[in-house]
Amino acid sequence: MIGLRQRIAWAFLFLFAAVPAQAGIARIDLNGSIDPITAGFVVRSIERAENEKAELFLMRLQTPGGFGSSMEQIIERMLSSKVPVVVYVGPSGAKAASAGFFILLASDVAAMAPGTNTGAAHPLMAIGGFPVGGGEAGKTLTEKITSDATAYLRSIAGKRNRNVEEAEKGVRESKSFTDAEALDAHLIDFVAASESELLAKLDGYTVRLFSGEERVLKTAGQAVTDYQMTSRERFLAAITQPNLALFLGVIGLLLLYLEFTNPGLIAPGVIGGICVLLSVLGFSFLPVNYVGVLLLILAVGLFIAEIKVGGFGVLGIGGLVSMVIGMVILIDAPDPAVRIGLTTAIALALPFAAIFMILLLALLKSYRQKVYTGDQGMIGLVGVADSDINPSGRVRVRGEYWKAYSSSRIAAGRPVKIIAVENLLLKVEELTE
């Protein structure tokens, strides 16, 4: 009998171990620009919520926008989710602009806090990061991009039974909606002052997933589990910020240049190498415009030419302008939220140009200075003939006696100047007053 009870107990333990724990309500915070790192975090979090059989997946959203490819990756995973996805724009004062507008409308349940806004999702066509649209060709391309974005949003909003016409205005007219306006326009489902109020409204609410499956939400008494980024994701999220990645690259290059021009300092070389590698890692996740890279290389070349050739400041100014433009267009994205700002570019380019040219000028001056050691350091020194030199003799230089010779006779006691060194034999000439 005891053996039978033990077997039954082990069977129950195995059964409970095989059933994944239910997470209740899974929650994440998506705060900041939409980029590849945040997109990966959202995808992983939805997959975890599915594995843990969560009642719903709650995303608290506030974003100025981001990369279109990252937005599409998030929306694609949201639409295929087996767990209802609730997007809540909050707290008060937050916004879900540009890419955030698409994510909000793609959710199973869309909600906003009072005092929030969404919209302003008009796509910008850009060449090298600068929005363009002038001329017939630019206008046609802009219309094509807008039409594509509108069709994408229309397909999502229509499937979610949201107001397609008003949603299109957020794209075509770059219209922004307050929480009340979005609710009146049937773009969102709820306005809730707090998360607890939202969960109370969702209790017993019927959700229709994108797949067509209907599910009644049960939020009362459900535990909320926060999903956090891993240490790796937080680290990558930090260094993939374009401004920080650029700053690390500029500082790293200056430190490496300082090490190369002053070998043996060690610390600038180590720190500079780490900074450059972190910058490269950060930019590897971002859409880099190679015209911007070429402009940065051109800027360095112009700085070197200014010092070597002496362009009366023209080459230096050209290098500065080239560097600023290169920095601004380095990230190939029209959304200002994920671009390097003009202010940041100028703030980095000016000191970089000044420090680089000062270090380069000091290096070139060191090459032009007279050598004071070895055979070359002897040339040009003045001494005194210790004996008659005809054609050879002895001279005293810096308190030392050297064998010397000359092409003309030099009397003892006369001042001489060293004009060449051949092994340990000095060639001198009489120094005339």
Q: Is the pLDDT of residue 12 over 70?
A: no
Q: With bands split at pLDDT 50, 70 and 90, how would you rate the model's confidence at 97? A: confident
Which helix (H) or strand (E) is 88 found in, with range? strand 85-89
Classify residue 336 by its DSSP letter.
G
Query: For the chain, what is the mean pLDDT?
Result: 81
98-102, 271-275, 350-354, 373-377: range with lowest mean pLDDT: 373-377
Could you give the dihedral angle defined by the CA atoms of residues 55, 56, 57 and 58, in that order, rounded to the nearest 10 degrees? -120
Q: Is the pLDDT of residue 433 over 80?
A: no
Task: Name the nearest CA neighbour of 71 among 18, 28, 26, 30.
Answer: 30
* Percent of the chain residues topping a pLDDT of 70: 81
9-23, 149-163, 195-209: range with lowest mean pLDDT: 9-23
125-139, 216-230, 279-293: range with lowest mean pLDDT: 125-139
Q: Is the pLDDT of residue 121 over 80?
A: no
* Percent of the chain residues topping a pLDDT of 90: 29
110-119, 285-294, 300-309: range with lowest mean pLDDT: 300-309
Task: Name the nearest CA neighbour of 64 among 39, 30, 36.
Answer: 30
* H runs (alpha helix) in 160-218: 164-172, 179-184, 195-202
Q: Is the pLDDT of residue 216 over 70?
A: yes
pLDDT at 129: 41
Q: 107, 90 in Cβ contact below 8 A?
A: no
pLDDT at 130: 44
Tokens of 407: 């092409």
pLDDT at 336: 64
Give the pLDDT mean for 107-112.
94
CA distance 409 to 405: 9
CA distance 307 to 368: 13
pTM over 0.95: no
Q: With bands split at pLDDT 50, 70 and 90, how would you rate the model's confidence at 20? A: very low
Task: Name the nearest CA neighbour of 288 among 329, 228, 236.
Answer: 329
pLDDT at 256: 84
CA distance 213 to 192: 25
Estimate to the nearest angstrom the gap between the alpha carbon of 177 and the chain centroid.
30
Q: With bands split at pLDDT 50, 70 and 90, how would you rate the model's confidence at 138? A: very low
* pLDDT per position as a tens digit, 150-169: 888 888 888 888 988 988 88
Letter for the amino acid at 339? R
Q: Is the pLDDT of residue 15 over 50?
A: no
Q: In Å, how far are 57, 108, 182, 351 from 83, measured between CA atoms?
A: 6, 9, 24, 51
Structural domains of the chain, ranges and CATH numbers in brackets: 2-229 (3.90.226.10), 240-368 (no CATH), 374-430 (2.40.50.140)
Tokens of 114: 């009072």
